[in-house]
Amino acid sequence: MLKMLLEHRRERGAVAVIVALMVVVLMASAALGVDIGKLVYERQQLQNALDAAATAGAMHLPDDPAAAIVDAQKFAADNMIGANLGSITPNIALRCVTSYNATTNSPDWATVVAVCGITDHTFNVLDCNEQVCSVPCTVAFHCNTIVVKHNKTVAYSFGPAIGIPSGQTGTISAAACRGVCGTVTPNPLDIVVMADRTPSMVDNWTNGTFTTPAGSFSSMKSGIEDMLGSMNQDQQYVAFGTIAISVPTTSDKVAPPNGGNAFSDAPLCGTGCTWVKGGKKYHFNGSWVPIGFTNKYTKTDTAGVTSLDTTTTLGKAVHNLAFSTPKVNYPNADTGKAATPSNEGTHLAAALKGAARYLLNVDPSADAGLPVRPKEFGTPKKVIIFETDGSPSEIFTSDSSATTLTNNLDIGVAGNDNKLSCDNFSAIASEAKAANITIITIGVGAVNKATCGKTSSGSTIYVRNVMAGAASPRKSGAASDAYDCTQSGKTEAENTDGDNYYCAASSSDLKSVFIAAMGSLTKSSKLMSLPNVT
């Protein structure tokens, strides 16, 4: 009996030891569980912070990659501080994302060139899957994607007691792209591009003589060419118009009204032109949109690079576009007969009206002969991209009924009453937007300083603000104020503020501005997964 009691006491002592050991293990496990929970929580907070950082940085792309990096770092730090998890300094890299070319097993280099401006294709690192590719990019280019990474050390609360003082979240990544982001997602568009070719667009007009077109004019043409080369012709149908109006000849559908560098003997208001003395019901004998909708304007070479095909009707019209001379033989406002050559004028309201009427198919055969898009693309968005460098300058006063889209009368205000001219431009823009047309305006050079008279209170009306207001997508319809892009740092600020007005301080900016304008018609910035990167 005594022996049994002794053995029982020994067993109870062993159980106590085991229980004591198990309590230690259980408490350690519980403590470790708390620390693991903390690690999971901070990992998720880090992911949230990096997602926010990438999204914030992408808002500056592709115009200002340097600002994208600064904002991404700030948002990452602020979001972690806001979660009481301390500040971080993430690793940030820029990429150019494009679609994957299965034929060449490489990126779509045309998009790399057009969207990001990278012409060197000799990369050591090409990250692709079956949908997208991304290549390294730097602040020297117009990168469309930002990648933010960080690996955070999380200090444990209970782990140090068992020799595990901290844990690692592992490398967390977030990537955000803005504009053209590689995949060919449905983005059907009907676009009318209106290009200003009036004399002020040509920088080298000296003593009554033009030399080879350069400056703003040539940069505008190059910008349009690059934009068209980056577009998807199966989804985006394009028409092309000009300011001043085009008077087609047997050899050139977009011939300027004066036929090039020589004055015309025939008045612009010719056969079929309504010019009623005293009635002010005028329209020019020409076309604001001489090149109708087409979905044939790009080509792809053997290396898989897509670019504008300058042998197509649209490509040739843009590539060979001729500028107009300062004077043209307009008809007399009273008689309709030929008069002394006068200032050709910049009829902005009439040009916008012509583009809108064409886009709305008010004038016959706007989309004649075009194939029907596949149903899965959806309903195309109607868009006008309108570029100019200055204030309106018009040569006759039109009938009040002209300031509507319901007729084909051209709009003019004699005597250079710029305020009324700008009011007419705004009125047509409002009517076009009410008809579900998206308007994108692009101003270059002199437009930054040009004025439209003064308000009733004496404040100066700037053309750039009129153009920004005309393009503004605000539901309220309120106008948008634009920056003077000749001031340092203002170009990037203006071109990322979302009001559909884009500016170029100088002609050299026009290439990237057209690409940025086109990019705004795609989805805005979006988080995405990149092969071998995130």
For the chain, give every domain's residue range: 32-177, 189-482
341 three-class SS: coil
CB atoms within 10 A of CB 3: 7
Question: Which parts of the chain have pLDDT scores under 70?
Answer: 1-34, 123-125, 183-186, 202-215, 258-281, 303-304, 325-344, 363-369, 374-376, 414-417, 474-479, 507-508, 522-525, 534
CA neighbor of 502 nearest in space, from 463, 429, 444: 444
Rg (CA), the chain: 31
Looking at the DSSP bridge assignments, the partners of residue 342 are 328
Alpha carbons 328 and 259: distance in angstroms, whole number: 9
Please give the model's pTM, rounded to 2 decimal places.
0.69
Q: What are φ and ψ of residue 151, in 5° steps?
A: -120, 110
Alpha helix ranges (H) inside 230-373: 313-319, 348-359
Q: What is the pLDDT of residue 19?
A: 55
Write the DSSP symbol of residue 196: E
Q: Do residues 286 and 257 lie in contact, with contact meaning Cβ atoms separated by under 8 Å?
A: yes
420 three-class SS: helix
Q: What is the pLDDT of residue 316?
A: 95
- Run of H or E including 133: strand 132-137
Q: What is the pLDDT of residue 210?
A: 45
- What DSSP letter does each residue of 29-48 carry, written as one string? HHHHHHHHHHHHHHHHHHHH
100 three-class SS: strand
What one-letter code names the amino acid at 321? Answer: L
Alpha carbons 80 and 76: distance in angstroms, whole number: 6
